[in-house]
Amino acid sequence: MKRSEINQILKNAKTFMAEKQFILPPWAYWSIEDWKKNRENTSEIIENMLGWDITDFGSGDFYSRGLFLFTIRNGKYKVDRKPYAEKIMIVEENQETPIHYHWAKMEDIINRGGGNLVIELYNTTPDNQLDTTPVLCKVDGVKHSVPAGGRVVLTPGESICLEQGMYHRFYGEAGKGKVLVGEVSAVNDDSNDNCFHEQIGRFPIIEEDEQPVHLLASDYSKFL
């Protein structure tokens, strides 16, 4: 991805979150100079990969297959005592997050406003393939049974609990607008706890055609 594209996605995301009155912490808006001045006091943010996160999953087409995220809080296994994480995401209409599951993380995915979020579900076979058995899940604490590959559509205010080993793919429903999506989960480890059904790059390779508006979490090691 080009840095100019990432910068524009960031600007659009800030506008959308402001419309939905979702406010990020002050450090979200720091410049590189601000980060350098505060480096010694921000080890939790940097080491636990908090902050801006934009990926096209290696597709080269962010709006077809990609995701905007901001990790607000996160612990780190065997390092600190925080056992939970929280993210905010923006999902465009028909913008796919590819099918995957997590070995360790259980998560609630919440529609915080905007359009509808479509989630397709599968159980996992012992060799990490898509199972054909019905998927048992809970939507806001209510039990549901979904056929393999079946869809759960979350309207604003609704949430689903995704357990470990539950394959899921999601996208915004066509014609309903982009979706503000929350995630509340156990500790998040995007480097080691994503099992994608196909070979996919989680973090983008960035072509630096202009200066960053804000650093991504994956930028910290490069700029700091």
> Which CA distances in Å does 123 have to 13, 118, 127, 150, 162?
32, 17, 12, 11, 11
Pairing of strands 167-172, 151-154: unpaired
pLDDT of residue 64: 97
Contacts of 110 (CB under 8 A, 6+ apart): 154, 158, 159, 181, 182, 183, 184
Q: Which CATH class is domain 3-223?
A: mainly beta
Query: In terms of Cα–Cα distance, which of 223, 105, 100, 115 is closest to 172?
Result: 115
pLDDT of residue 175: 98
What would the two tokens of residue 158 be?
A: 């609704």
Distance between CA atoms of 21 and 122, rounded to whole angstroms? Answer: 34
SS (H, E, C) 169-182: EEEECCCCCCEEEE
What radius of gyration do the chain's Cα atoms show? 17
Where along the chain do its domains lie?
3-223
- Contact between 96 and 171 under an 8 Å Cβ cutoff? The reply is yes
pLDDT of residue 201: 83
Please list the ranges in the chain whose pLDDT falls under 70.
Answer: none
Distance between CA atoms of 108 and 126, rounded to whole angstroms? Answer: 24
- Give me the DSSP letters along 56-89: -TT-S-TTTB-EEEEEEEE--TTT-S--EEEEEE
